[in-house]
Amino acid sequence: MARSLVVADPGLADAGFVGDELRRRGFVSTRLDRAEPAGWPQLDGVDLLLLLGSDGHVHEPARSAVIEAEARLAWTAHRMGVPIFAICYGAQLLSHALGGQVRRASHVEIGWHLIEPIAPVDPTDPVVASGPWMQWHGDTFTVPADGELLARSDVGPQAFRIGRSFGVQFHPEVGLDTIERWVADDGGRELGPAGIDRVELIERSRAEVEHSEARARWLVRWFCEQV
């Protein structure tokens, strides 16, 4: 039995397809409230750190204490060789923890987007499929020094790896129920200004999730076997 720690906002703690594939591979997870770092356990005996998305921003001064606590956790796990799988906000946090920079993007990416895989070793066999993948973010980041860029879009990096730490800007984990909840919770804050119709987004998602689930499960298998 392998042990994983999942760091998430209380309302965004569903690891979806990623969590399900990790369970298939023998991982038992403990959820950690991102806002309550004082209650987090030590990393001894931990086999994986999973950092999920958030409504917050890594460059948010009002949240600097909890941001830096999570950055220290990620940095410590990285130094200890504990594998890290980081998604969206989690990838931005991982970049910050390892010396990269996080900032507002030139424009938001919401909905199903293709990305550009980068495979420097074997261009015919990229680690990350081109998608389309679900995106929901308005921030971007730089790949830290010594990091390997694995995918990108016109907004910025979409996947990177440093040693046993791996981050993706897109959301491989989400199924239709999660997307429907995000759309309902949005209240027009981001979808409206981005010119996205919520009904069309849900219908597109209904058509895409089966394919994205297969890509997500492959990505987790690669991570477990290669990272």
Q: What would be the CATH architecture of the domain defined by 2-226? A: 3-Layer(aba) Sandwich (3.40)
User: What would the pLDDT profile of 12-63 be if each residue is shown by its tens digit?
Assistant: 889 999 999 999 999 999 999 999 999 999 999 999 999 999 999 999 998 9
Per-residue confidence band for 124, with pLDDT thresholds at 50, 70 and 90: low
The answer to whether the Cα torsion of 215, 114, 201, 19 is positive or negative is positive
Positions marked active-site: 88, 171, 173
Q: What is the pLDDT of residue 218?
A: 95
Round to the nearest angstrom and report the end-to-end CA distance of the chain.
18
What mean pLDDT, rounded, does the chain reach? 94
Please report, rounded to a whole number, the percentage of residues in the chain having pLDDT higher than 90: 87
User: What would the pLDDT profile of 66-89 be if each residue is shown by its tens digit?
Assistant: 999 999 999 999 999 999 999 999
Domain residues of the chain, as ranges?
2-226
